[in-house]
Amino acid sequence: MSQTLTLVMPAYNEAQNLDALLAEWHPVVAQVGADATLLVVDDGSTDNTVQLLEQAMAGGAYPQLVAVTKPNSGHGATLLYAYRWALDHGASYVFQTDSDRQTMPEEFWPFWNLRNQADAVIGHRKGRQDGASRVMVTKVLKWSVALVFRKVIPDANCPFRLVQRDALAEALRDIPDDYNLTNVLLAVRLAQAGRKVIYRPITFRPRQGGVNSINLPRIFRIGARAIKDFARLRRPAV
């Protein structure tokens, strides 16, 4: 089986993080192989993220970097765009993490080493350092998934996951283009399909730049919308 990897990252107003982000993650892609790709999808940033990405691609230091930009549509829709781009460009494995540098590049390798033992390897954030509000969001989503789908998933929204091509394509089949909790529903669909998923603990640092937009009222809105959206998509399309 081909071992081609596309590592995907959504980005929105990440100019503060970008230099360090590329310096951390491009070597991972390069070590996987010359045909691996680091894909950064800009979600209509209003800072100079796009300009910095263009400079990075033109500068020659990151030959396996591909950066694309699209109109702003939110994190979930940008993830879907990135996943589908990777599949359309022949990836046999897709690894996703976010661009805020909360995850650790060195923790990619245990996931990659498990690629032939499961359909997906998904992170489980333990000992989190990103604040009580973010932890509460994860708990709200876990309860919502259990309530609606009757599936207990350790960390369905974790932005650190490696998924095999066929499993990803199947799971994405009926996720709407504008869906706001793509990774949560992806984890649910993998479970519903009986796919083998390994959950591994990962480190989760504080956000390394930018602004944390989570507060208590928004947590309740996320939970209410999640239950409504999950109920609408309780069963996969046939």
Question: 25 — phi, psi (to 5°)?
Answer: -100, -30
Looking at per-residue pLDDT, the higher value among 132 and 88 belongs to 88
| Tokens coding 20 | 């360090």
Q: Are 159 and 108 in contact (CB under 8 A)?
A: no
Q: What pTM did the predictor assign?
A: 0.89
What pLDDT shows up at residue 205? 85
CA-to-CA distance for 84 and 88, rounded, in angstroms? 6
* Residues of the chain above pLDDT 90, percent: 69
The radius of gyration of the chain from alpha carbons, rounded to an integer in Å, stands at: 17
Model pLDDT, residue 135: 72
pLDDT tens, position by position, 141-165:
888 888 888 999 999 999 999 999 9
**Which residue would you say has higher pLDDT here, 157 or 130?**
157
Q: Read out DSSP for 165-217?
A: HHHHHHHHTT--TT-S-HHHHHHHHHHHTT--EEEEEE--PPPSSS-----HH
For residue 179, pLDDT over 90 is answered with: no
Residues 201-237 pLDDT 10s: 999 888 666 544 444 455 456 556 666 666 667 666 5
What domains sit in the chain, N to C, each tagged with a CATH number?
Answer: 5-232 (3.90.550.10)
Q: What pLDDT, on the 0 to 100 scale, is given for residue 96?
A: 98
Q: Considering only the C-alpha atoms of the chain, give the largest distance between any 2 of them, rounded to a whole number of Å.
A: 49
Which of 82-86, 133-137, 144-148, 209-213 has the weakest average pLDDT? Answer: 209-213
Share of the chain above pLDDT 70, in %: 83
